[in-house]
Structure 1
Amino acid sequence: MCHLFAHQPQRDYESQTRSLRIGGHCTSIRLEMAFWDTLEEIAAKENMSVGKFLTTLYNEVLDHHGEVNNFASLLRCSCLIYRSKSMVTVPEFKATVTPILDAAE
């Protein structure tokens, strides 16, 4: 099991700080590259830049909860939700083998 986690690319868990403007205020967010990659994928699916997507998400959370606590953690959890929803579960294919009977049997 540790092989799965230990052999992932180091780039995925290196962090990067990005600056953006939300609600007229400059801020910076530090996330691991795997999360930035996922946010870029989500934003592209929504035909938005990452900055526009983050601003939209921030404003929706603000409207819903009245405040935004720990936005970076919210982004990480959002990425996990997105990844879990986008995974397609395919049942394992198990072929049923029917024995061929010999005419002599």
Structure 2
Amino acid sequence: MCQIFAGQDPADYEPLTRRLRLNGQSTSIRLEKSFWDILDDIAAGEGLTTPAFVSKLHSEVLELRGEAPNFTSLLRCACLIRTRQMASRPVLEAAE
């Protein structure tokens, strides 16, 4: 079982930094490549670029919570939510 996890391609968990704007402020976000890949897919599904999606998400978090502490962790958790949704999709489609 550990081979599934330990045998990952190191390129998948290589940290990547992307520069973007959040609420008009230039910033950088550092995430592992696999998370950026998922965020790219989510953004494309929303008809947005990844920077536009991340900025929109940040704005929505500010609106709901007043602040966005540990935003990179929020992005990782958003990727987990998306992965879980995608994993349950075949089950939902089979039930229909």
TM-score w.r.t. the length of structure 2 is 0.90
RMSD: 1.4
**Counterparts in 2 of 1:8-19, with a 5 A limit?**
8-19=8-19
Aligned-partner residue type, residue 56 of structure 1 = K
Distance across 1 between alignment mates of 2:24 and 2:56: 13
**Counterparts in 2 of 1:66-85, with a 5 A limit?**
66-85=66-85
Q: Which residue of 1 aligns with 2:37?
A: 37
Structure number with greater CO (CA < 8 Å, separation at least 6) is 2
Larger % of helix: which?
Answer: 2
Q: Name stretches of at least 5 consecutive residues in structure 2 with no aligned partner.
A: 92-96
Aligned length: 91
Q: Which residue of 2 aligns with 1:26?
A: 26
Of structures 1 and 2, the larger Rg is shown by 1
Distance across 1 between alignment mates of 2:28 and 2:59: 16
Cα displacement string for residues 21-57 of structure 1 (whole angstroms, at most 9, x for unaligned residues): 1111111000000000000000000010000000110
TM-score w.r.t. the length of structure 1 is 0.82
Deviating above 2 A after TM superposition, structure 1's stretches of 4 or more consecutive aligned residues are 88-91
